[in-house]
Chains A and B, each alone.
Chain A
Amino acid sequence: MPERVDRDGTPAYRFLGVEVTRREAAFLVLGVVVLFIVPDLTTVSDSLQLSVIHQGLLFGFAAVGLNLLLRHTKLTSFGHAAFFGTGAYATAVLARYAGVQSVGLLLLGAIAAATVMAAIIGVLSLRHTGLYFALLTLAFGQLLYAIALGQSALGGSDGLPIRPGPANQPLLFGTAFSPDVYQVLTYYLTVVVILIGLFVMYRITQSPFRNALDAIGQERTRARFIGLPVRRYVWAAFVISGIYGGVAGGLFAVVRQYVRPEGTLFFLRSGDILFMAILGGFRTLVGPLIGGVVLVFLQDVGQDVTQYYEFLTGAVLLILVYGFPRGIVGSLRSGGIVNTRLNELRREPSVLSTWGRTAVQSLERKVTEALTSLRIILFGVD
């Protein structure tokens, strides 16, 4: 492998197996700083709400897990909310029925429940690939949703509040805090969990295990014939990705102190998680996280502006797929479409007119194609 170097040739730094060029290190530090000062930023502007960003980060974290499947094994799961929901409900049930108060224990419970759930769903759905796999994951997700709706012990459609302690909220470090402080503290807990989760995921994506997953994703038959027990590897990846969902769901329950089937297990949440990964750039590590924040933010802002806010996210998805298939992070990083175009523009501003012409031309072409198709459909002839 060629040594990774910066633009000016400075070799990459290595720390705990993480290899970054100076440019990447700068972005990394910036990202961490931004994550930590979010609670301050939200006091500056009303349109930024801590709870919205927090929710975006949590769902985005689930998307980081989903991305292990999507990016490497090329399997599309439409049921990842199942693990988010399992984590959330496990937390709620532990707090309410077992009287667990410590956030740490609650999260461990969420991890355990999500692991078991992912192991079971994985065994059952990974017999298939492609469309059938996607449909099976969707079906299992809906099954859990139906169970949560139907069981009165789980609160049905009203959901389950988490109120174990006398202070009506879980304890952090054995202490109860006022709601405002609790919100900020759980946010920082989320940030720490996310940073650890990203680090772990980064190491996994540098490991021989990743090679096995890539092999399976790129040429499944050959993977079998170099001696990989394919299904076992995909299952392991599925469980790992489920654990990320479970952790996110558990944190979500701890933060919200309330769990509803709509907000955690519904199949549209699965769609959101998948969308986040693609929006942020599923070929990147942090893309899904950023996709999560952007999508939840869009949905939140959209809801304020218009009741047709789904239209807004739909439009974003279309623009993305046609214009920026590599997602936000994939398009922005060096070599991505945005940088390439900006460089062209900087060198030769007149390319703008070329772009305009190409855009008009391709639009014309698409319209002509559409009209032709329409003629064929309506009249049966070209």
Chain B
Amino acid sequence: MLEARNLRKSFGELVATDDITLEFGKEDGELVFIVGPNGAGKTTFINLLTGFLSPDEGSIVLDGDDITGMSANGRVDAGIARSFQVVKVFEEMTVRENLRTVVLTEQGKTWSLFSMADGHEEVEAQVEELLEKFRLEDAADTVAEELPHGDRKLLDVAMSFGLDPDYLLLDEPTSGVSTREKEYVIETIVEVGRAEGVTTVTIEHDMDIVTEYADRVVALHQGTVHGVGPPTMLETDDELRRLLLGVGDDE
């Protein structure tokens, strides 16, 4: 179980997350979606969990161990992987090389100076598997920077899955993806996540997607937890609807 305990982070005057306490993965493979208006502290929260930022106060606990001071790469080894809102892949590598690099790292083979990068059979097998799961076979030998946007997003997510995580934190995996491709991207994520029992925490703005796929919804507002509940919360909580959709009197 991955827990955030009283997390607080401010940037100067701005309090980005204010005393957030949440837990994920009580049940293996749950799909949690984080919703909230711009500036609610969603990305900051994920940055804190993954070690991209360190909190001013509070702690992060993984299966009972305090990992607040652990390095970002240490957390990856401990089973927490993430993706970024803006795609961050290795642009000059092909799709296959990107995935190979990830899997080589995950299997601790990157200190090998004299073996062939493409000569590790277990690694190659896993790369092929990832290509297939994320339906990237046709693009396997395309250089990442030449991929269409939807495929880039998929590659980004595939790389995170390639780390064989227990927890996967996805920062808007569908942002900038066309409506038609959106469904496809999120479906792939859900499908693979469910199949491998990965607890995924996804920031998402598209409420249709949240309603359709979420096991649990976390709503953030101005750095605090507005509410946690089933996706029906989006329908029943008027205050939340007003915050998210801007429907209501004072906006």
Contacts and interface: CB of A to CB of B under 8 A. Distances in A.
Interface of A: 1-2, 17, 203-204, 206-212, 214-215, 218-219, 221-222, 224-230, 233
A230 B120 CA distance: 22
Contacts of A206: 116-117
A227 B100 contact: no
Contact of A1 (B96, B106, B111): B96
B93 A218 contact: yes
A227 B111 contact: no
Contacts, number: 99
A212 B72 contact: no
Contacts of B71: 229
B213 interface: no
B113 A204 contact: yes
Contact of A219 (B90, B96, B112, B120): B90
B88 A222 contact: yes
Interface stretch (B10-18, B31-39, B77-85): B77-85
Contacts of B110: 208-209, 211-212, 228, 233
A207 B91 CA distance: 19
A228 B105 contact: yes
B101 A207 contact: no
A209 B111 contact: yes
A214 B113 contact: no
Given A203-B114, A226-B101, A226-B163, 4 more contacts: A1-B96, A211-B100, A225-B52, A228-B105
Contact of A226 (B93, B105, B115, B118): B105
Contacts of A218: 90-93
Interface string B62-96: 00000000011100110001101000111111001
Nearest to B101: A211
B96 A207 contact: no
A99 to B, nearest CB: 35
Contact of A228 (B73, B115, B159, B162): B73
A374 B188 CA distance: 56
Contact of B92 (A204, A207, A212, A214): A214
A206 B84 CA distance: 29
Nearest to A220: B88
Q: Which 10 A-B pairs have the closest CB atoms?
A: A227-B76, A212-B110, A222-B88, A211-B101, A218-B90, A208-B104, A208-B109, A208-B110, A227-B73, A224-B72
Given A226-B102, A233-B110, A208 B89 contact: no
B174 interface: no
Highest count of chain B CB atoms <10 Å: which of A207, A225, A233: A225
B101 A214 contact: yes
Contact of B112 (A208, A228, A229): A208
A225 B82 contact: yes
B121 to A, nearest CB: 13
B97 interface: yes
Contacts of B54: none
A17 B119 CA distance: 10
Contact of B113 (A207, A219, A226): A207
B187 interface: no
Contacts of B81: 225-226
Contacts of B90: 214-215, 218-219, 222
Highest count of chain A CB atoms <10 Å: which of B72, B77, B92, B101: B101
Contacts of B115: 207-208
Contact of B117 (A207, A222, A225): A207
B59 interface: no
Contacts of B82: 225
Contacts of A228: 73, 105, 110
A233 to B, nearest CB: 7
18 contacts: A1-B96, A17-B116, A209-B113, A211-B105, A212-B110, A214-B93, A219-B90, A222-B159, A225-B52, A225-B72, A225-B82, A225-B84, A226-B101, A226-B105, A226-B106, A226-B162, A229-B73, A233-B110
Nearest to A210: B117
A271 to B, nearest CB: 27
A229 B75 CA distance: 11
Given A214-B90, A219-B88, A233-B110, A208 B117 contact: yes
Contacts of A229: 71, 73
B50 interface: yes
B181 interface: no
A226 B112 contact: no
B56 interface: no
Contacts of A230: 73
B112 A207 contact: yes
Highest count of chain A CB atoms <10 Å: which of B102, B104, B110, B120: B110
B183 interface: no
Interface string B148-173: 00000000000100110000000000
Contacts of A224: 72-73
Contacts of B114: 17, 203-204, 207
Nearest to B118: A1
B57 interface: no
Nearest to A227: B76
Contacts of A226: 76, 81, 101-102, 105-106, 159, 162-163
A211 B104 contact: yes
A106 to B, nearest CB: 26
Nearest to A203: B114
A1 B104 CA distance: 16
A208 B163 CA distance: 16
A211 B106 contact: no
A209 B111 CA distance: 5
Contacts of A17: 114, 116
